[in-house]
Chains A and B, each alone.
Chain A
């Protein structure tokens, strides 16, 4: 199904795009005038979309992939960065001008049941783009075009569907109608935001095949947003893996599947369900949940869940809390009570800091907390966090864990694959080795 894209120029270029949604703070916060912060849905994304290719944007829920897709069409306002469409910067274009540009860039949403106006019959709905952009005012011409398009997307005979309301159609039929409406103006770019994830398995393949057919027929360029690597593999020329607002890896589909560079990509690939239950594959899926996008982890966003994180990945106080909580969750009641008695309120660890201040309970010497932490370190030396810890010291009423300085992952190109990971950054590795050497001394 995959064929090499004929690359003839860049259609869309995104440079360091950020989309932040400001949070509405509590009443008191607003009264004091404290900045409530923002959800960093897209936090510095750059990529290029070549004419005629299918780029897959893959990520978990909450990774910001839908927001990125909407921002490209200016349905969500970009906070920073630039979107260049066909040589023109559209990041700050007025809505009025944007309207005419929308002829060329269309979007298909995830939920086909919600993307059609329930009070509009199919003929009006699918033909509406034509009248919005003044392509044709003639009723007969409009009906002819709509009928042709409906039959093209597989809603045949068109006469039967023209007068139907969305409520009369199945999910697959609705998504076909939505596709028909999107293609009606013959756009260049189609952002498909999980177009098949709400459909039955049996319908998915048909809709994807239809999309491939439409792409060839109408010379479309797709940005295919999905959380489903299996359909992305089937459908995309290139794949971008998104994690917490950033693209962590971007490369040719075959390359990504054969040789995933980023640890997150690797764990995503291992998470693809295996149909044969007899093949018990060892899975080291990423631990825990996607972190909060309001205060993303320090350094590399993925380091708290990463199985290969090391010294410079950005270890911080919050990771210590996770470590303790995870440890206690799997412990016998007695031991847990004993350990917890030593350590004070864990909320003290909820700050972005390279020094973790583990508080001791009232009346407990901080030496005991240090001893406990040292013991944990001895018991689980393979825990990635300890790679980042430079020292554990006593300090007044708390134990201080000093971490190595964390680095922001840089945008690297490794054998044609773009990746943001310290594992491939010689400088970061050098720094880490230096830290490790000093630590041994």
Chain B
């Protein structure tokens, strides 16, 4: 019976029962909703993220109350809050996906090599990664964003790179530690005995047995990355406001509104951040419960004994 690798991945989710299953499903639902917003933003959002007047040239109201034209109201720059929230999802997902790809692309190979070969290389890498890890993550992201803004400008790319620098050590650590335990498995020695090169051993024998941890860290890190991106935007080191809509920046602009009773400019971007982070965390935690064999609980089916066909006369029963 063929078992394609997709089934191997999704099988556990289907088999899961109870709370973990619902956690995963809730996580998937929230995440998919935001992905849909991001993909179809131009069609879903009523206006562009930087539109401040109608096609006829009539300016939107400044800090306008939510109304029929502007469901979530307008902000201090007269742009539509709903549109900015929807376009913000697009920015967030772009940055997070790029950041996850970058940090995987660096952390995974380094972890594999460092764990497999060990020795001096491992020590040096470990030292570098641990010192990155020990650094306050937001400060690190700001420094990198600052350094890169000269060369790459302050766009999605800069934000993605500065966020990925923060998460590389996590992937590296998790992968390296797992490789160290897998390296001692007999099948790895068997591969060496077959004459496989280190590259073949790593890619065909170790990677496949280490990769299963990655989806869980990736989703949890994605949730964290959203917060980091918002923090960068809030502090003014994020994406150029003219380039894209960004929730953190919107929050920062809404600070002064809050005192004046203008609640809609801050509430909706903040709500979007909280919801997406919650969704991704639920997804990550749920995946961990579902995929991790130590935590996974398999359904137990009650055994139903069939009714006895004939009754033995008393006395023969014990024979």
User: What residues of chain A have their CB less than 8 Å away from a CB belonging to chain B?
Assistant: 73, 75, 98-103, 106-107, 109, 111, 114-120, 128-129, 132-133, 163, 165, 178, 181
Question: How far apart sit A165 and B208, CA to CA, in the bound complex (Å)?
Answer: 13
Q: Which residues of the partner chain A approach B205 to less than 8 Å between Cβ atoms?
A: 117, 120
Contact of B204 among A101, A102, A120, A129 (CB under 8 A): A120
Residue-wise interface mask of B (178-192) relative to A, using a CB-CB cutoff of 8 A (1 in contact, 0 not): 000000011101111
Q: How many residues of B contact A (CB 8 A)?
A: 20
- Asked if B189 and A99 make an inter-chain contact with CB atoms under 8 angstroms apart, the answer reads no
Q: Which of B183-215 touch A at CB < 8 Å?
A: 185-187, 189-197, 200, 204-205, 208-209
Task: Name the distance in Å between B27's Cβ and chain A's nearest Cβ.
Answer: 25
Docked-complex contact B1 and A120, CB < 8 angstroms: no
Inter-subunit contact B209/A119 (CB<8 Å) = yes
A133 to B194, CA, bound (A): 9
B:37-81 near A, CB below 8 Å:
none
Contact residues in B for A165 (Cβ distance below 8 Å)? 3
Using CB atoms, name the residue of chain A closest to B210. Answer: A119
Q: When the two chains form their complex, are residues B193 and A102 in contact, meaning their CB atoms are under 8 A apart?
A: yes
Interface of A is mostly: loop
8 pairs, A vs B, C-beta closer than 8 Å: A103-B195, A114-B185, A115-B186, A117-B204, A117-B209, A119-B208, A129-B195, A132-B196
Tell me how far the C-beta of B31 lies from the nearest C-beta in chain A, rounded to whole angstroms.
27
| Given A116-B190, A119-B209, 14 additional A-B pairs, CB 8 A | A98-B195, A99-B197, A106-B194, A107-B190, A107-B193, A109-B190, A111-B186, A117-B208, A128-B191, A128-B204, A132-B196, A163-B3, A165-B3, A178-B190
Contacts of A117 in B (CB 8 A): 187, 191, 204-205, 208-209
Q: Are B186 and A114 in contact (CB under 8 A)?
A: yes
Measured in the bound complex, the distance between the Cα atoms of B197 and A75 in whole Å is: 14
- Choice from B3, B185, B194, B208 contacting A102 with Cβ under 8 Å: B194
Complex Cα–Cα for A98 and B196 (A)? 10
Which residues of B line the A interface, CB within 8 A?
A: 1-3, 185-187, 189-197, 200, 204-205, 208-209
Could you tell me if A106 and B1 are in contact, using CB atoms closer than 8 angstroms? no
Across-interface contacts of A178 in B (CB, < 8 A):
190
How far, in angstroms, from A439 to B223 measured CA to CA in the complex?
85
Distance to closest chain A CB from B148 (angstroms): 38
**How far, in whole Å, are A181 and B197 apart by their CA atoms in the complex?**
17
Contact partners of A109 in chain B: CB under 8 A = 186, 189-190
Q: Which residues on the B side are within 8 Å of A114 (C-beta)?
A: 185-187
Q: What is the CB-to-nearest-CB distance from A179 to chain B, in angstroms, rounded to a whole number? A: 12
- By beta carbon, the residue of chain A nearest B205 is A117
CA distance A39 to B193 in the complex (A): 23
Known contacts A75-B189, A128-B204, A163-B1: does B195 contact A100 (CB below 8 Å)? Answer: yes
Report the separation of the CA atoms of residues A335 and B1 in the bound assembly, to the nearest whole angstrom.
Answer: 72
Measured CB to CB, the nearest residue on chain B to A125 is B187
Query: Is there an interface contact between B195 and A133, defined as CB atoms closer than 8 Å?
Result: yes
Q: Report the Cα distance A178→B1, complex, angstroms.
A: 21
B195 touches A99 (CB 8 A): yes
A132 to B187: give the CA distance in the assembly, Å: 15
**CA–CA, A118 and B207, complex, Å:** 12
Q: Once bound together, how far apart are the Cα atoms of A75 and B190, in whole Å?
A: 9
Contacts of B204 in A (CB 8 A): 117, 120, 128
A206–B126 Cα distance when bound, in Å, is 49
A75 and B192 CA atoms in complex are apart in Å by 8
Q: Whole-angstrom distance between the alpha carbons of A254 and B73 in the complex?
A: 97
The reply to whether B194 and A181 contact each other, CB–CB distance below 8 Å, is yes
**Which of A98, A100, A114 has the most CB atoms of chain B within a 10 A radius of its CB?**
A114
Residues of B within 8 A of A128 (CB): 191, 194, 196, 204
Contact assessment for A120 and B208 in the assembled complex, using a CB-CB cutoff below 8 Å: yes
Min Cβ gap B288→A in Å is 19
Question: Which of B187, B193, B200 is within 8 Å of A75, CB to CB?
Answer: B193
Complex interface: chain A residues within 8 A of B195 (CB): 98-103, 129, 132-133
**Known interface pairs A120-B208, A132-B200, A163-B1. Does A115 touch B187 (Cβ–Cβ under 8 Å)?**
yes
Is there contact, CB below 8 Å, between B194 and A132?
A: yes
Give Cα A120–Cα B185 distance, bound, in whole angstroms: 14
Q: Which residues of A contact B190 (CB under 8 A)?
A: 107, 109, 115-116, 178, 181
Which A residues lie within 8 Å of B2 (CB)?
163
In the complex, what distance in Å separates the CA atom of A229 from the CA atom of B209?
Answer: 37
| Most chain A CB inside 10 Å of its own CB: which residue of B200, B204, B205, B209 | B204
Residues from chain A with a CB closer than 8 A to the CB of B1 are 163
Q: Which residues of A lie under 8 Å from residue B194 when comparing CB positions? A: 102, 106, 128-129, 132, 181
- Chain B residue nearest to A73 in the complex (CB): B193
CA distance A178 to B194 in the complex (A): 11
CB-CB nearest in chain B for A191: B193
CA distance A42 to B191 in the complex (A): 24
Q: How far is the CA of A373 from the CA of B61 in the complex (A)?
A: 108
Q: How far is the CA of A178 from the CA of B189 in the complex (A)?
A: 13
Chain B residue at smallest Cβ distance from A133: B195
How many Å from the CB of B118 to the closest CB on chain A?
Answer: 14
Q: Output the residue of A109, A116, A132 with the most chain B CB within 10 A.
A: A132
Q: How far is the CB of A163 from chain B (nearest CB, A)?
A: 5
Given contacts A99-B197, A132-B200, A163-B2, contact A116 B192 (CB under 8 A): no
Q: Chain B residue with minimal CB distance to A107?
A: B193
When C-beta atoms are compared, the residue in chain B nearest to A118 turns out to be B209
Q: Which residues of B contact A133 (CB under 8 A)?
A: 195
Most chain A Cβ neighbours within 10 Å, of B186, B192, B194, B200: B194
Which residue of chain B is the closest to A121 with respect to CB atoms? B3
State how many angstroms separate the Cβ of A223 from the closest Cβ of chain B: 13
Chain A residue, CB-CB nearest to B207: A119
Could you tell me the distance in whole angstroms from the C-beta of B221 to the nearest C-beta in chain A? Answer: 24
Whole-angstrom distance between the Cβ of A35 and the nearest chain B Cβ: 21
Instruction: Tell me the nearest residue of chain B to A110, going by C-beta.
Output: B186
* Max chain A Cβ within 10 angstroms of own Cβ: one of B196, B200, B209: B196
Chain B residue at minimum C-beta to C-beta distance from A178 = B190
Cβ of A112 to closest chain B Cβ, rounded Å: 9
B residues in contact with A132, CB < 8 Å: 194-197, 200
User: In the complex, A114 Cα to B185 Cα: how many Å?
Assistant: 7
CA–CA, A345 and B104, complex, Å: 59
**CA gap between A117 and B186 in the complex, in Å:** 9
Q: How far does the alpha carbon of A102 sit from the alpha carbon of B189 in the complex, in Å?
A: 13
Chain A residues positioned under 8 Å from B200 (CB to CB): 132
Complex-state Cα separation, A181 to B186, whole angstroms: 14
- For residue A134, give the distance in angstroms from its CB to the closest CB of chain B: 11
Bound-state Cα–Cα, A109 to B185, Å: 11
- Report Cα–Cα, A175/B193, bound state, in Å: 16
What are the nearest 3 A-B pairs in CB distance? Answer: A102-B195, A119-B208, A114-B186
- Cα–Cα, bound, A114→B189 (Å): 10
Q: How far is the CB of A1 from chain B (nearest CB, A)?
A: 28
